[in-house]
Structure formats: structure tokens, C-alpha cells
């Protein structure tokens, strides 16, 4: 307990799936968590649940595609807690479509959420994080940035951009003398509403005999806690893959 005690962390897409698990684990380890999402019903319910368990959290409606919304979230964090120690850029969407079936509008939407949203989050968070003496940014990428998934063409493109952006920002912060670490997390199949929706759309039934299997949200959340904590002080610009050896087969 207390691995991130006192740290203030923004988690986007916190109402469900990996974001929810991240928020729950960070709060359990003592962090003050700013939960953001566009699903107000689920987000507010989670904030109430965590508050009743003794955690210090707030929920904010937040469209990560909107630069002004990012400014409001960071300012609300400053007003409530006076600092920012961590950012988990987790919000995401998935589009199931082959490259030639993907419209320009669909491609732009997916990348607006997971590519531009990560850029805007990092840009907005850096000044307050710098004022706070440093911190840790975790960008959720995916093994889709390593492997070829034709039906997840736009998703893979966005996650690939996150992978590259993370490295660039890590070096930028280091060269600037900021004590800000930036890492990316690349998960394989995890038991979340998003993967269930994708499997249903593709008509895929999980194979119980598959040695790789499907991970639990907590498998990723434990890594998030580690990356936000001071335990990972020398981990910077890294790709943390959580896929039970999927990408090395």
C-alpha cells in the first residue's frame, strides 16, 4: 500500500476497461486521481465508489480531442490539488475495418482520439507537471503497433503514432532537464468491453486452449502503478509489452 501515496494523477477514459482498472489501482495505492471520460454516468459512479472507499478522486467530463477541454482538466487539477505528478493517456476507440473499407472521416476520428488526444494531453500536462517538480506520463499504445492487423488499420496507425511520440517526448524532456519520464504500454488481448465488442463484431470466440490467452485489466494496471511510482525512476522512453509472449512468437 502507498506506492504512489500523495501523487496526483489524471487518467483519461477512466469510466471503464483499462482506464477504470488503472484508476482503481492507483487510488488503492494512495494516489489522488482525476478521472476523465465522456461517459458521465459510469465516470461519476466510479468516482462515488472510490470516494466511499476512502480515496481522494474527482470526475470530469472530458473529450480528449478538444484542446480547450484539456486546458480545463489541467486547470481543475491545479485548483483541486495544486500539482500534477502523473498522466495516463488511456482513452481509446476501436474501428473494425480493412484499409480500403476505412473512410477518411473514420480514420481521422480514430486518430483524433488516440493520436491527437495523446499529443494534446502531453502538451497540456507538461507545464503543471514541470511546476510540480517532475512526474511520469504513460501513453497507452498496443501490440497493434508491432503486429499487422488489417482489420484494425486505423487503430494500428494511431497506436504506432503513440509509440513514436512517446520516445520523442521522453528525449525532449530529458534534454530540457525536466524530471519527467514518458513511457508507453503495449497490451495484447485484455478482457475489456472493447475487446469483447471487437470479438463479437468479428465473430471470434476465445479459444480456451490458446496458450497466450486473454489478460485481465489488473495485469495492465499493476504496470501503470509501477510507472507512475518512483520505483520506475530510471525507466524512460521504454515500451512495456504486456502480451504473454504474443509478439515474440
Q: Are 225 and 29 in contact (CB under 8 A)?
A: yes
Residue 1 in any domain: the answer is: no
187, 180, 177, 179: which is closest to 223 by C-alpha?
187
What pLDDT was estimated at residue 126?
A: 98
pLDDT, one tens digit per residue, over 39-79 is: 999 999 999 999 999 999 999 999 999 999 999 999 999 99
Residue 2 included in any domain: no
pLDDT tens-place string over residues 179-223: 999 999 999 999 998 888 888 878 888 888 899 999 999 999 999
The whole-number average pLDDT for the span 162-176 is: 98
Could you tell me which residues come within 8 angstroms of residue 61 by beta carbon, excluding any fewer than 6 positions away?
36, 37, 38, 40, 43
pLDDT for residue 243? 96
Domain-embedded: residue 3: no
Range of the domain at 139: 8-248
Q: What angle do CA 141, 146, 150 make, to 5 degrees?
A: 95
Has residue 177 been placed in a domain? yes
Q: What is the CATH number of the domain that holds 25?
A: 3.40.50.720
Residue 210, domain member (yes or no) = yes
Cell of 97: 475495418
Give the pLDDT band (50/70/90) at residue 231.
Answer: very high
Which range has the worst mean pLDDT, 84-88, 92-96, 234-238?
92-96
Q: Is residue 162 part of a domain?
A: yes
pLDDT of 159 above 80: yes
Assigned domain for 126 exists: yes
Q: Which residue among the candidates 59, 81, 155, 226 is catalytic per the annotation?
A: 155
pLDDT at 29: 98
The pTM is what? 0.96
CA dihedral (81, 8, 39, 118) in degrees, to 10, reads 120
Encode burial over 55-88: b for 16+ CB neighbours within 10 A, e otherwise: bebbbbebbbbeeebbeebbebbbeebebbbbbb
Quick check: is 226 catalytic?
A: no
Determine phi and psi for 119, rounding to 5 degrees.
Answer: -55, -50
**Tell me: the pLDDT tens digits for 120-158?**
999 999 999 999 999 999 999 999 999 998 999 999 999
Residue 94 predicted with pLDDT over 80: yes
In the chain, the number of structural domains is 1
Domain for residue 12, yes or no?
A: yes
Amino acid at each position: 500500500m502507498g506506492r504512489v501515496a500523495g501523487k496526483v494523477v489524471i487518467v483519461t477514459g477512466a469510466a471503464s476497461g483499462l482506464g477504470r482498472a488503472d484508476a482503481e489501482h492507483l487510488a488503492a495505492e494512495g494516489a489522488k486521481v482525476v478521472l476523465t471520460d465522456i461517459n458521465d454516468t459510469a465516470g461519476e459512479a466510479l468516482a462515488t465508489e472510490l470516494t466511499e472507499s476512502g480515496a481522494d478522486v474527482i470526475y470530469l467530463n472530458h473529450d480528449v480531442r478538444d484542446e480547450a477541454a484539456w486546458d480545463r482538466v489541467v486547470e481543475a487539477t491545479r485548483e483541486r490539488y495544486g500539482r500534477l505528478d502523473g498522466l495516463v493517456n488511456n482513452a481509446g476507440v476501436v474501428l473494425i475495418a480493412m484499409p480500403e473499407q476505412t473512410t477518411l472521416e473514420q480514420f481521422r476520428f480514430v486518430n483524433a482520439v488516440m493520436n491527437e488526444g495523446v499529443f494534446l494531453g502531453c502538451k497540456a500536462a507538461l507545464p503543471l507537471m514541470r511546476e510540480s517538480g517532475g512526474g511520469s506520463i504513460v501513453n497507452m499504445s498496443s501490440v497493434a503497433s508491432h503486429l499487422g492487423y488489417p482489420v484494425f488499420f486505423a487503430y494500428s496507425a494511431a497506436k504506432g503514432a503513440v509509440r513514436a511520440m512517446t520516445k520523442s517526448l521522453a528525449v525532449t524532456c530529458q534534454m530540457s532537464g525536466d524530471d519527467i519520464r514518458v513511457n508507453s504500454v503495449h497490451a495484447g488481448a485484455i478482457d475489456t468491453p472493447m475487446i469483447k465488442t471487437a470479438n463479437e463484431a468479428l465473430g471470434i470466440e476465445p479459444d480456451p486452449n490458446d496458450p497466450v490467452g486473454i489478460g485481465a485489466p489488473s495485469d495492465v494496471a499493476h504496470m501503470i502503478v509501477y510507472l507512475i511510482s518512483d520505483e520506475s525512476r530510471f525507466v524512460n522512453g521504454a515500451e512495456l509489452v504486456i502480451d504473454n509472449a504474443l509478439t515474440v512468437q
